[in-house]
Amino acid sequence: MIFLKKELTVFLTGVMFLTRLPVPKNIDHGENYLQKSPTYFPLIGWIVGLISFAAFFIFHKFVGADIGLLAAIIAGIFTTGCFHEDGFADTCDAFGGGWTKEKILAIMKDSRLGTYGVAGLVLMLSAKFLLLKELVTWFSFKAVTEKELYLLVAVTMVAAHAVSRLMPVFVIQYYQYVTADNGSKSKPLASKKLQWPELTSSVVFALLPFAFFHYYVLLAIVPVLLISFKLANYFKKWIGGYTGDCLGAIQQVAEVTFYLSLLIIWKYIL
């Protein structure tokens, strides 16, 4: 019972860190809980994915597919408080405008949004919408009933948000945090690595949604892993490791990579 209570606190700490969802005020969200919270990042991705699907379902049912997908993206943004998108935009600005480690880190700390960040966000959100639209169109051809269509969309959104949040967990585990700013929200995560049982649990949470797909869909994880570690190595080359903004960028790129990979698998393999 004590173990379950402790794990619930760790989970809720992760919810507080990654989203704007309310959590009980009487729970101790100490640094030791935050350090263990990456265990549940993929599970929190389930929550974001389900909220996004709920928005899609309502608007698809009563308005149309395009508005439903737009509502799903907006719901995800509101759920996380634009947390990952902000990191992606800051990363675009920093690595687009900085040519030294010091300059890159300085740009990341700047709260202003630059041209690279704006362009990156527009392209990222456009890619999400267009890829999801193509997936829904393809699912409509394959699905026998409307219920099956909704199941495919729901599992796709949950899997995308879960597996894309596993990628920052891997980066935290195997790369070095480089920002010296003690006020950084992400710094406590890097001070202690997950134990193998915790890391295994995180992987299991990310892979569980794939049980609802054909096993070929597991192939989509390969490019997600490759692009995520490619990005992590790129960050390491330029600044010696990662920052919290880099983690947000990796999550966003991993999510879009998953949609693209899934679309290719559905069109050319399944």
pLDDT of residue 191: 75
- Evaluate whether 188 touches 31 at the Cβ level (below 8 Å): yes
**How confident is residue 142, by pLDDT bands cut at 50, 70 and 90?**
confident
In this structure, of 23-32, 118-127, 261-270, the range with the lowest mean pLDDT score is 23-32
Mean pLDDT of all residues in 74-86: 97
The pLDDT, as a whole number, for residue 31 is 84
User: Helix H segments across the chain?
Assistant: 2-18, 31-36, 41-62, 65-80, 83-97, 101-109, 115-142, 146-174, 187-190, 196-207, 221-239, 244-268
pLDDT bin (cut points 50, 70, 90) of residue 194 is very high
d(CA 170, CA 157): 21
Tell me the pLDDT tens digit for each residue of 202-220. 999 999 999 999 999 999 9
d(CA 129, CA 69): 7
Side-chain half-sphere of 205: how many Cα atoms within 13 Å? 24
Q: What share of the chain has pLDDT > 70, as a percent?
A: 97
Which residue shows structure tokens 């409307």? 146
Which two three-digit tokens encode residue 181?
Answer: 């700013």
pLDDT of residue 26: 76
In the 8-state DSSP scheme, what is residue 176? -
Contact criterion met (CB below 8 Å) for 89 and 246: no
CB-CB contact of 162 with 45 (8 Å)? yes
The phi, psi pair for 100, rounded to 5°, reads -135, 160
Query: CA of 4: how far to CAs of 9, 11, 159, 270, in Å?
Result: 9, 10, 25, 41
Q: Quick one: DSSP state of residue 185?
A: S
> Is the pLDDT confidence value at 100 over 60?
yes
- What confidence score (pLDDT) does residue 57 get? 98
Quick one: average pLDDT of 144-167? Answer: 95
Share of the chain above pLDDT 90, in %: 82
pLDDT at 180 over 60: no
pLDDT at 32: 87
- The pLDDT confidence band at residue 185, using thresholds 50, 70 and 90, is low
Q: How far apart are CA 164 and CA 133, in angstroms?
A: 19
Return the domain boundaries, the chain: 41-81+118-268
CB distance 44 to 15 below 8 Å: yes
Q: How far is CA 194 from CA 6, 128, 133, 186, 227, in A?
A: 15, 31, 37, 15, 22
Phi, psi of 18, deg, nearest 5: -95, -15
Instruction: Look at 30 and 261; give whichever has higher pLDDT.
Output: 261
